[in-house]
Amino acid sequence: KLNIGVDTIQHGVEGLVYLLTESSKLMASIPFLDFQDSIHVLGFSDELNKSLLQLYLDNRKEIRSILGELAPRLPSYHSLEWRLDVQLATRSLRQQIKTAVTMKLHLNQNEDQTAQVLQTDPATLLHLIQQLEQALGEMKMNHCRRIVRNMK
């Protein structure tokens, strides 16, 4: 009926979906004027720009809730059990110290509890702790805060 190719219509719909989902993801950081400027660059008529803006304003909360439902549900921490094993000597080696840390990590996922058993040596565990502390330190930087705030 429109005398337009299927590919053109498909690309138009995909572009519109992309525009609305990305704008809804950044809802807190994209004010009204920024959205208008973003769609003005596309070269549409003023009437179409106003229609797109009204479509965005009417549906942004619904789009955001749908995007929230589609997000993957990751396991969450429940508890941790740990044990330190030390082997001081064997029959053949009288002066041997061999250590291992065994951890049982309990996770919740979709109302189910699972457990993962992990074992490592203390040096690797210390390195892991340092890396996690470094990551936590980076989360306090302004750039990371901005990213996290826009993800919510």
SS (H, E, C) 34-71: HHHHHHHCCCCCHHHHHHHHHHHHHHHHHHHHHHHHHC
Q: Do the beta carbons of residue 75 and residue 95 sit within 8 Å?
A: no
The dihedral sign for the CA sequence 25, 29, 33, 37: negative
Sequential pLDDT tens for the chain (152 residues):
677 888 888 888 888 888 777 777 766 555 666 777 777 777 778 888 888 888 877 887 788 788 777 877 888 999 999 999 998 887 787 777 889 999 999 999 888 899 999 999 999 999 999 999 999 888 888 877 777 776 65
What's this model's pTM, rounded to 2 decimal places?
0.48
